Amino acid sequence: MEIIIEIIVEVFIEIIGQFIAGLIAENIMQSVRASKFIEYFFCAVGYIIFGAIIGYASMLAFPKILLKNPNLQIINLLLVPILVALAICAVGNWRKKISIFRINFEIFIFAYLFAFTVSFVRYSFLDVAKPFW
């Protein structure tokens, strides 16, 4: 039961953080339209930074890791960001009234970077035996 709660809370935190990061990045990118490469680069860096901040904040809210099994931790690190990125793409497509099966590659990559950074920060700094502080 604890594993399910942790996964649900982590997905919820990542989705909310993704929407906030998306709003911030969208406003910043409206002012910086020099080239697509620069736009995508700064957008990716912003998602990574914001993901690290949300990952740290989630450690403050949930200082102990609920997944005790190291194999489940690795699966959580690799699988949850993909699921969150697909969920963000689905919501983005729904908002644009596009077919739910069409995945915008840029949205998926940025959502994955954000969710992976959140999971990686939690995985790196939370220890099974002791809290991070």
Let me know: does 25 contact 98? Beta carbons within 8 Å: no
pTM of the predicted protein model? 0.63
pLDDT per residue as tens, the chain (133 positions): 777 887 788 888 888 877 887 777 777 776 666 567 777 888 888 888 988 888 888 888 877 777 778 888 888 888 888 888 888 777 777 777 665 555 566 777 888 888 888 888 888 887 644 444 4
SS (H, E, C) 43-66: HHHHHHHHHHHHHHHHHHHCCCCC
